[in-house]
Structure 1
């Protein structure tokens, strides 16, 4: 019962992580620039916005005109979303609270483990690419003039949160399988597998 609750908890965390990753990918505030007290410029993976009280947005039309960090971040974030979607389907099949693969418990356990690993991989991808994107902003901030440089925006924090939720959720989905292996190892080595031979005939 406890393992089933852990799987459900991990699944919900991973689902929240996927939702946060999707939201971050399409948010416009990946980096921001302030010109004065009122004029703001926001740059996202898909569009950029600028204005005073009311902002106007323009979609990035040509991929060849985009910077390397935007192209790379966009590609990896989409890959992370795709992997999380696959992990969502796979872990649903392997969870104990579902009726899929009930005839083979070993295959069901392996399926849940696979779904957890996929979620962890997706979370690591988005975590790494987001951290790299931030490092590029920090590097350009140090080189450029203060008034002409960008700072990282809210989407970065949303992406980090989604990455961590996906990783933690994946770990919880893998926990049951790992604990079963540890228990089986301990039992096999602590308990004798055969009766001791008697010296009497």
Structure 2
């Protein structure tokens, strides 16, 4: 029961990370522009992986999708690919983890097969968390480098809320995958110990009991002869 509950908690944590990363990927707040220090007419300007948005003084928000996705900066294209890969790995890990849960009857009923499914799902969650962590950290490093670069002539943005969501989702992703993998590994070690000591006890019971041959036994045998 303890192993099953720990698997469910780990899966829920990983699914929470998946939802957070999905929202962060579609968000337009990866970097924001502080309008108090720049001569712009909009109240705020933000940019994401897919489009940029601006809020006018009357309260309306206008968003514009990037016309040419391949004309974006190299780090932006790489971050898109990493975030998409992270989400796809999360979906695949969620499916395999559901097949590997002890409390489900989906797929194979063999405990070893279920454990392999769960461990594979945990590794996919960890790999997906690493992909999203690299993407978010890389994007944040580029924004920070441009902001503090005195020779940069472009618009200087600041870190947006979507980056913090991405970091939080990546941590949930990896922690859920690690807990899911450790729960299955702990169960595997427990089964190995039970089988090992159970076999040793059964083997010892089958062996005949022999008594040590002492000198008194040798003397008594000679008297009978």
Flag whether TM exceeds 0.5 (same fold). yes
1:179 has 2:189 as partner: no
1:96 has 2:102 as partner: yes
1:47 has 2:51 as partner: yes
Number of residue pairs matched? 201
State the shift of 1:124 in Å.
1.1
State the shift of 1:67 in Å.
1.2
Contact 1:93 1:108 in 2 (8 A): yes
Secondary structure of the corresponding residue to residue 12 of structure 2: helix
Query: Structure 2 CA distance, aligned partners of 1:190 and 1:104?
Result: 22
Matches within 5 A, 1:102-117: 102-117=108-123
Contact 1:3 1:176 in 2 (8 A): yes
- Which of 137, 149, 156 lines up with 1:149 in the alignment? 156
Listed one character per residue, the Cα deviations across residues 7-32 of structure 1 (whole Å, up to 9, x for unaligned) are 11111111111110100000000001
State the shift of 1:171 in Å.
1.6
Contact 2:3 2:187 in 1 (8 A): no
Structure 1 unpaired stretches of 5+: none
Structure 2 unpaired stretches of 5+: 214-225
Q: Which moved more, 1:96-105 or 1:6-15?
A: 96-105
State the shift of 1:55 in Å.
2.4
The TM-score with structure 2 as length reference comes to 0.80
Query: Structure 2 CA distance, aligned partners of 1:97 and 1:90?
Result: 14
State the shift of 1:181 in Å.
3.6
The TM-score with structure 1 as length reference comes to 0.89
Contact 1:35 1:147 in 2 (8 A): no
Listed one character per residue, the Cα deviations across residues 171-191 of structure 1 (whole Å, up to 9, x for unaligned) are 221122211243356567888
Q: Supply the RMSD in Å over aligned alpha carbons.
A: 2.5
Q: Which moved more, 1:146-155 or 1:65-74?
A: 146-155
Matches within 5 A, 1:1-201: 1-36=1-36, 39-52=43-56, 53-144=59-150, 148-184=155-191, 193=200, 194-195=203-204, 198=210, 200=212
